């Protein structure tokens, strides 16, 4: 009976599939659309990441908190020009750019445009970077997928995705030159200046603002469209400032009521509310009540279109303006006035090197290089070693003692500290401050600098203090 019962149970178990050959595995049905989208996101991130950089802006007014302002940017050409937001770099006296591979290079501010919050930097030093290209933000449609890459909260190469939520958003009515793309891709502190990319890997915006109650991501971010950025960047590089056209008019939207009363075919265009006497529009015969529907051959569907077209046209340019007056279409050729934005160059230009020493990149005073590193040094005399409490640590070692490190210098950013002993500069042994300064004096801004440094490394099992040699690498600003 016992055997029969066991066999019966075994039979039922086999019938039910027990014992199982393996734990059950969930088999999701293939989703070609989702797989293709995931692959597209990954491809954009991989192609763009090397051109996206972290920017650290340091200076006396930025010394608190995280040690300076941080932001993002992206390389746009082989010359090392970087696009970012002006508010990231405007107060800086020193700029450090960290590349995707961790390399840190100094940079200088070429120029900035306060009206669009766009700035262009220039790398000092050599870097082989595949630049990003601008796409056509005007061709974007609401609902299209986009990818944001940047350094939120200092976390380099962070990739987020979302869609274009809206276009032509104005967040400050006093500045109609900033007509943003709105996106729900996550944008946080540190993303400023980073690229917003389409799925072709093209830059279609520069991440600039967020709408938030507490300063963190809340689903609403704003990027300045590439249609605006491209022209601003071109002028900043070529001229150092931005020239815009001025008509001397105040414009407003065309309401449906106005369109019906004045016999317009639709409510598209820019309604001229006021014309300033002596301005370009006045001289061309435009008057209050006229509705501009085309500028330089491009359609004007709203007052924002006209403002954007004027901003993208250098001043003193002859263009055709088509408009309606009393329901009748007409056109006029006029010459715009020039409105030049104030140049923003808060940093002193510095010498550069491209590929090798250049004739104007002269060695600077070693004390100047030392200040730029943010170091104070002294001979490793017995008295100085005793004052810093390292007399027993560097017994028998020759070198230059670090006596002070500026909190906003390159040295501090890379981990150098008071009490460390510099033993070599670019593979050359240094025993005194004079030798150390002499070695610095042979270097130019943009040159590589590698310091061999002896530093404390805890204690031995016997309780004795010990030191280890580390290498600290810089590119001279």
Cβ-count burial 44-71 (b if 16+ within 10 Å, e if not): bbeebebbbbbbbbbbeebeeeeebbbb
- Select which of 192, 226, 245, 302 is catalytic: 192
- Tell me how crowded residue 363 is: count the other CB atoms within 10 A of its CB: 16
d(CA 94, CA 60): 10
* 274 has catalytic annotation: no
d(CA 418, CA 376): 9
d(CA 333, CA 66): 54
* 128 has catalytic annotation: no
Radius of gyration of the chain (CA): 31
- Select which of 81, 87, 151, 290 is catalytic: 87
Q: Which of 208, 197, 204 is nearest to 47 (CA)?
A: 197
* 117 has catalytic annotation: yes
User: Which residues, at least 6 apart from 118, have a Cβ–Cβ distance to it below 8 Å?
Assistant: 83, 84, 85, 86, 112, 206, 224, 229, 232, 233, 236
DSSP 3-state of 365 = coil
DSSP 3-state of 64 = coil
Query: Cα separations (Å) of 292 from 170, 177, 247, 285?
Result: 21, 18, 12, 13
**Contact (Cβ atoms closer than 8 angstroms) between residue 121 and residue 113:** no
Half-sphere exposure of 460 (CA within 13 A, CB side): 7
What is the number of residues in the chain?
Answer: 477
**Contact (Cβ atoms closer than 8 angstroms) between residue 253 and residue 213:** no
- Select which of 81, 113, 117, 165 is catalytic: 117
d(CA 148, CA 143): 15
**Catalytic residue annotation:** 87, 117, 192
């Amino acid at each position: 009976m016992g055997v029969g019962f066991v066999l019966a149970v075994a039979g039922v178990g086999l019938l039910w599939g027990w014992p199982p050959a393996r734990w059950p595995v969930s088999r999701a049905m293939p989703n070609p659309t989702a797989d293709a989208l995931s692959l597209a996101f990954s491809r954009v991130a991989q192609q763009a990441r090397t051109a996206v950089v972290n920017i650290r802006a340091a200076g006396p007014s930025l010394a608190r908190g995280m040690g300076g302002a941080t932001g993002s940017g992206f390389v746009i050409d082989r010359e090392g020009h970087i696009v970012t937001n002006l508010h990231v770099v405007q107060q800086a006296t020193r700029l450090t750019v960290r590349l995707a591979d961790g390399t840190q290079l100094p940079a200088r501010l070429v120029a900035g445009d306060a009206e669009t919050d766009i700035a262009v930097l220039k790398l000092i030093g050599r870097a082989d970077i595949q630049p990003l290209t601008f796409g056509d933000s005007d061709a974007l449609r609401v609902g299209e997928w986009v990818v944001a890459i940047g350094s939120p909260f200092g976390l380099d190469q962070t990739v987020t995705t979302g869609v274009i939520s809206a276009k032509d958003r104005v967040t400050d009515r006093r500045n109609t030159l900033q007509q943003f793309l709105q996106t729900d891709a996550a944008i946080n502190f540190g993303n400023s200046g980073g690229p917003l990319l389409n799925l072709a890997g093209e830059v279609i915006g520069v991440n600039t603002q967020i709408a938030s109650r507490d300063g963190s991501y809340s689903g609403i971010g704003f990027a300045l469209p590439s249609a605006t950025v491209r022209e601003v960047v071109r002028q900043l590089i070529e001229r150092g400032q931005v020239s815009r056209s001025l008509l001397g008019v105040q414009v407003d939207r065309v309401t449906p009521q106005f369109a019906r009363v004045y016999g317009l075919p639709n409510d598209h265009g820019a309604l001229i509310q006021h014309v300033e006497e002596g301005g370009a529009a006045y001289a061309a015969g435009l008057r209050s009540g006229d509705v501009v529907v085309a500028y330089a051959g491009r359609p004007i569907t709203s007052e924002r279109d006209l403002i954007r077209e004027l901003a993208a046209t250098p001043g003193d340019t002859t263009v055709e303006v088509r408009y309606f007056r009393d329901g009748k279409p007409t056109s006029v050729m006029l010459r715009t006035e020039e409105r030049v934005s104030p140049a923003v160059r808060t940093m002193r230009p510095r010498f550069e090197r491209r590929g090798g020493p250049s004739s104007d990149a002269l060695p600077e005073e070693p004390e100047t290089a030392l200040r730029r590193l943010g170091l104070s040094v002294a001979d490793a005399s017995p008295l100085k070693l005793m004052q810093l409490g390292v007399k027993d640590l560097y017994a028998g070692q020759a070198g230059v003692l670090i006596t002070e490190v500026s909190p906003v210098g390159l040295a501090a950013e890379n981990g150098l500290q008071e009490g460390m002993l510099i033993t070599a500069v670019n593979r050359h042994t240094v025993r005194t401050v004079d030798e150390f300064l002499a070695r610095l004096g042979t270097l130019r801004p943009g040159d590589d600098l590698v310091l061999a440094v002896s530093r404390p490394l805890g204690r031995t099992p016997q309780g004795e203090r010990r030191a280890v040699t580390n290498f600290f690498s810089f590119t001279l600003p």
